[in-house]
Structure 1
Amino acid sequence: MEYKKIGIVGAGTMGRGIAADLLFHGMSCILVDISNDVLERAKAEIIRIIRFAPLANASLPKLNAEDAISRIKFTTNIEEISDAEFIIENIPEKWDMKETVYRELSKVCKSEVNFAVNTSCISVTKVASVTDRPDKVIGIHFMNPSYLKNCVEVIRGYHTSEECIDNVKALLGQLNKDVVLVNDYPGFVTNRISHLFMNEAAFVVQDGVAKPAEVDEIFKKCYGHKMGPLETADLIGLDTVANSLDILYESYQDPKFRCCPLLRKMVDANLLGRKTGKGFYQY
């Protein structure tokens, strides 16, 4: 099957990047959020991505921004996603919000439509349990920014069918992305490990061992990482990192996932990273 119209729930950082990625690969989408202000900011950001991303990745086509953005329907009405062929959900890592959204999606989407959970840490199986189609629910953990990353972590829930996996591979194939298929446990592979890096890096700064730039420099120059753990945290959003750590701590009851107090303090101060202009770094 070749997909043409994708439904995206959540117009934050990930939703915008995925929407742009779809446009670069010839698809259209319906972008849903509860806030018109967020949708307006998303539109402006997607236009910026369309104009400048090909400079960073020469394999991306140069698109006319106005023509491309016309292939996105921006809406606050989730019922307008009903004719989408595939759903990708990107809302915050809060279970009560996830549960509400998936119950609504079950009501408005066609029975054959697959649901992709773009979650950092919440169990895909748990999400599937509140839908009317647990065999059609799967995790797709897109890396940020989606349009510059050619590999994704795909998470098989307990009930996820082989047909659903094949459908996801077909969609991601259209986006020219490689798939690494893993099983469902909170945090999966990427975030179960990467959040330990980010959290411990915050502890290192809190304890006065090193400054943020020094921590990140060690990871980039000694380990060859493209970004350090604190730069990565700022990119993701410190609120998202803290929420994910809370989910990991609750899921495993393991103290290694205890959120660093400095990280919590920065979230309370609205120092969330790139999204607010200041986190461990000034933007």
Structure 2
Amino acid sequence: MSIKKVMVIGAGQMGSGIAQVCAQAGFDVTLNDMKQEFFERGIGAISKNLSRDVEKGRRTEEEKRAILDRITMSLDLQDASNVDIVIEAAVENMEVKQSIFKRLDEIAPAHAILATNTSSLPITEIAAVTKRPAQVIGMHFMNPVPVMKLVEIIRGLATEDEVYESVEAMTRKLDKTPVEVNDFPGFVANRILLPMINEAIYTLYEGVATKEAIDDVMKLGMNHPMGPLTLADFIGLDTCLYIMETLHEGLGDSKYRPCPLLRKYVAAGWLGKKSGRGFYVYE
């Protein structure tokens, strides 16, 4: 099927990035959130990214304006009534996502694909609340979306081949690299990444080394662009905890148990960069 009109749900860091790359690729984009201030914050981030591209000569001011003009504000899910695909990028919570998908199933056209940007939750379980599980799929973008090339495309148990092929073709049009992944907790990216981060937190918790030393070992010894504790702060410690809990519950193996220090920081509201404090303090 041909995809021309896209709705992105959630104007946060991930949602605004997805909206930006869709608009850059020529799609008409409806960016939905619950409040106008959330939309304005998201469109502000998109405009800032595009202005940086203009300054560096990667695109013109006219191109920037054309991209922004392809993005329309939405404060009502009813606006999904005339789109070809919805990409949900709301909070990483099963109840929230199922609630959104139930409503989308009633609103979106019969041909529309319902995609979720979940980083760890089962696609099949999300699809089960709809009457169109064959048209539900995972599109897990990496952060920051405008920069990172990978998109994990996750089939649910019932996802049709035609739906997968349409989403794969759309992903390539976004100048991203699609990788097909089966529906297991954490998929590939977070099943490997988050246990590494969790082990780094255990290393700090057990007093093996300081946070700076742990990050330096992984940067200088393993050639990682940033250390695992810095990366955890960037992802959000609440998100890290939620993914570890999803892995632990879904796979039933004690190696996925979240570190007590991670739980303590989240309980204290030390969520990383977004809250001003995590393993490091941010101005």
Q: How far is the alpha carbon of 1:248 from its aligned partner?
A: 1.5
Q: Contact conserved, 2:54 with 2:61, CA < 8 A, in 1?
A: no
Residue of structure 1 equivalent to 2:10:
10
Q: How far is the alpha carbon of 1:150 from its aligned partner?
A: 1.6
Structure 1, 97-106 or 197-206: larger mean CA deviation: 197-206
Q: Contact conserved, 1:20 with 1:46, CA < 8 A, in 2?
A: yes
Residue of structure 2 equivalent to 1:191:
190
Q: Which of 58, 61, 66 is residue 59 of structure 2 equivalent to?
A: 61
Code of the residue aligned with 2:106 in structure 1: it is K
Q: Contact conserved, 1:169 with 1:179, CA < 8 A, in 2?
A: yes
RMSD: 2.0
Residue of structure 1 equivalent to 2:272:
273
Code of the residue aligned with 1:61 in structure 2: it is R
Structure 1, 168-177 or 16-25: larger mean CA deviation: 16-25
Q: How far is the alpha carbon of 1:53 from its aligned partner?
A: 5.0
Residue of structure 2 equivalent to 1:216:
215
Residue of structure 2 equivalent to 1:113:
112
Structure 1, 258-267 or 112-121: larger mean CA deviation: 258-267
* 3-state SS in 2 of match to 1:275: helix
Indicate yes or no: 2:166 matched with 1:157. Answer: no
Q: Contact conserved, 1:3 with 1:171, CA < 8 A, in 2?
A: yes
Normalising by structure 1, we get a TM-score of 0.92
Residue of structure 2 equivalent to 1:97:
96
Residue of structure 2 equivalent to 1:48:
48
Residue of structure 1 equivalent to 2:227:
228
Q: Distance in 2 between matches of 1:261 and 1:67?
A: 48
The one-character-per-residue Cα deviations of 1:154-207 (angstroms, maximum 9, x if unpaired) are: 111111111011100111011111111111111111111111011111111222
Q: Contact conserved, 2:85 with 2:113, CA < 8 A, in 1?
A: yes
Q: Distance in 2 between matches of 1:109 and 1:142?
A: 22
Q: Contact conserved, 1:2 with 1:171, CA < 8 A, in 2?
A: no
Q: Distance in 2 between matches of 1:27 and 1:281?
A: 39
**Aligned residue pair count:** 281
Residue of structure 1 equivalent to 2:22:
22
Q: Name structure 2 gaps, 5 residues minimum.
A: none
The one-character-per-residue Cα deviations of 1:29-65 (angstroms, maximum 9, x if unpaired) are: 1111223332222122121122225678x8x534555
Q: Contact conserved, 2:2 with 2:166, CA < 8 A, in 1?
A: no
* 3-state SS in 2 of match to 1:147: coil
